[in-house]
Structure 1
Amino acid sequence: MSRSVSMQVTTFDEALAVFIKDAKRRGLREFTITYYQRELNHFRTFLVSVGHSLFIHDVQRKHLEELVEDMQVRGLRTTTINSKLRAIRAFFHWLLENKYLAVNDLAKFPLVRDRKNSVETFTVKQLHALFNATDKRTFTGQRDYTFMMLLLETGIRLNESCGILIEDVKLSEGLVYS
């Protein structure tokens, strides 16, 4: 069982508020902060709906197991479930690191295995057609081509790429910060 070390923050709502405030202080992207708020509020709503305590030191592994089972019964995709679990694990890891909890029972909670078949990728012919579809003589064509190359070459996620600013690109160093 998790035990509270700091009496400053004891409820889920208080802990979440401090966690989000710290995320903003650390300069996390707005998308990430919104993600944490959304997923942790979902977990809070679940705890309330099944009558569990909202004291952070009362949250146990079995509560996550119940949450996962509920999401599976509702037919949520494995990737959605794992996304929610990652946010919860990050939150409780932060609580432990910042001494709001003495023990983090959720630390080693496993993600749900995704039994996907192999992902179909583009053929070389399809890639050539895609890249040749842009008119590189125009600004928009050059922009689209560059954007497609960035996604292909780096494996960066779409939402991460949309957050890239001019100052994040260091051409002289061959680096892009996201």
Structure 2
Amino acid sequence: MVDTKKALQLFIEYLQIEKNCSPYTIDNYKRDLGEFFLFLETQNIEQLALVEYFDARLFLTTLYERDLSKRTVARKISCLRTFYKFLVREGMVGENPFSLLALPKKEHKLPRFLYEEEINQLFSTLNKDTPMGLRDAALLEVLYATGTRISECCNIQLQDIDFSLETILVHGKGKKDRYVPFGQCAKETLQTYINTARTETMSSYRTSHSYLFINYRGEPLTVRGAHYVLNECIKKAAANGKLHPHMLRHSFATHLLNNGADLRTVQELLGHSKISSTQIYTHVTKEQLRKVYNSTHPRA
């Protein structure tokens, strides 16, 4: 008989040690597995080894009945497929009931990004006369200049920045590090922020740490806090909608490709392990299509 708690504990250790998954990914696995365990209770299935293909199909049906997106459903089923694959490998169950379950086709949505004019408008509305206003400007500059994920950006330490080479050591997903360059605008804003706003705020609240971005009390800025900062910035810019951090990452990649960068370079800058993850950015804007057409067609 397989103890569910023991199986979950061993699986989490497998994700941490062998798969080198991030805490965020592991939390998603825990959440998805928790939902599945509750489902087993409703079906009076007391052992993981007793789950059959029919039960897997029934669980999939319950997910669809909740009107979840195809992407979310696919993630949950993929989680369970991986979980049972691990259990089979460890000899805890005889077969994987999710191995033959078809995943829903993913929805191919183009990433939302800001046009260059919108980026310029966003930066023009920032108030750099206050410590936190300067912090906001530095945060936006780094996100757009480097294309880092918001979690990566919040984890940047002072020692990760090389101003002479204009690069930042980014600690990416799966503990994969990469060096990302940044430009003059980001450099100037960062140096001003570090030497004035950051130093003064941390001195006032007597805090001491090496995290680059801080909140108004001088403590490390959290991902949630960064989300709030960006949404406040978009409000000040009098723009519609919300500014999700990934929109700046999408804008970074889109603008690089539209201005001639090759796909492999963008892949490395974004920290994608697969080129297929980067290929979604090969879409181009109507303005770029028109520009290329007018400059290349003989009778344009």
TM-score range, shorter chain: 0.5 to 0.7
Which of 86, 92, 103 does residue 84 from structure 2 map onto? 92
Distance 1:161 1:108 in 2: 36
Task: Look up the match of 1:39.
Answer: 32
Deviates more, 1:163-172 or 1:78-87: 163-172
Distance 2:145 2:43 in 1: 47
**Does structure 2 conserve the Cα–Cα contact (< 8 Å) formed by 1:96 and 1:104?**
yes
Task: Look up the match of 1:78.
Answer: 70
Distance 1:162 1:110 in 2: 36
Deviates more, 1:167-176 or 1:32-41: 167-176
Deviates more, 1:55-64 or 1:135-144: 135-144
Q: Tell me by how many angstroms 1:164 deviates.
A: 3.2
Identity of aligned residues (%): 18
TM score, norm. by length of structure 1: 0.68
The CA deviation string for residues 3-58 of structure 1, in whole angstroms up to 9 with x for no partner, is xxxxxx7133331122224445566433333222211010011121123x232222
**Does structure 2 conserve the Cα–Cα contact (< 8 Å) formed by 1:93 and 1:104?**
yes
Instruction: Choose between structure 1 and 2 for higher RCO, CA contacts under 8 A separated by at least 6 residues.
Output: 1
Q: Does 1:125 align with 2:117?
A: yes
5+ long unaligned stretches in structure 1: 1-8
CA shift in 2, pair 1:99/1:136, >3 Å: farther
The CA deviation string for residues 143-164 of structure 1, in whole angstroms up to 9 with x for no partner, is 22202434xx35x4x4x43663
CA shift in 2, pair 1:96/1:110, >3 Å: same
Task: Look up the match of 2:145.
Answer: 149
User: Cα RMSD over matched residues?
Assistant: 3.4
Larger C-alpha radius of gyration, 1 or 2?
2
The CA deviation string for residues 114-172 of structure 1, in whole angstroms up to 9 with x for no partner, is 4466555433322332344446793431222202434xx35x4x4x4366353995767
Distance 1:174 1:109 in 2: 43
One-letter amino acid matched to 2:138: Q
Distance 2:109 2:100 in 1: 26
- Tell me, what secondary structure is at the counterpart of 2:26? helix
CA shift in 2, pair 1:16/1:37, >3 Å: same
- Tell me, what secondary structure is at the counterpart of 1:122? coil
5+ long unaligned stretches in structure 2: 173-300
- Tell me, what secondary structure is at the counterpart of 1:176? strand
**Does structure 1 conserve the Cα–Cα contact (< 8 Å) formed by 2:2 and 2:47?**
yes
The CA deviation string for residues 34-93 of structure 1, in whole angstroms up to 9 with x for no partner, is 222211010011121123x23222223322221121121122222322232232122122
**Does structure 2 conserve the Cα–Cα contact (< 8 Å) formed by 1:92 and 1:104?**
yes
The CA deviation string for residues 101-120 of structure 1, in whole angstroms up to 9 with x for no partner, is 45334235332224466555
**Does structure 2 conserve the Cα–Cα contact (< 8 Å) formed by 1:19 and 1:94?**
yes
How many residue pairs are counted as aligned between the two chains? 164
Distance 1:89 1:82 in 2: 10
Which of 28, 45, 67 does residue 59 from structure 2 map onto? 67
Deviates more, 1:18-27 or 1:80-89: 18-27
**Does structure 2 conserve the Cα–Cα contact (< 8 Å) formed by 1:15 and 1:56?**
no
One-letter amino acid matched to 1:50: Q
CA shift in 2, pair 1:54/1:44, >3 Å: same
Distance 1:109 1:44 in 2: 18
CA shift in 2, pair 1:116/1:30, >3 Å: closer
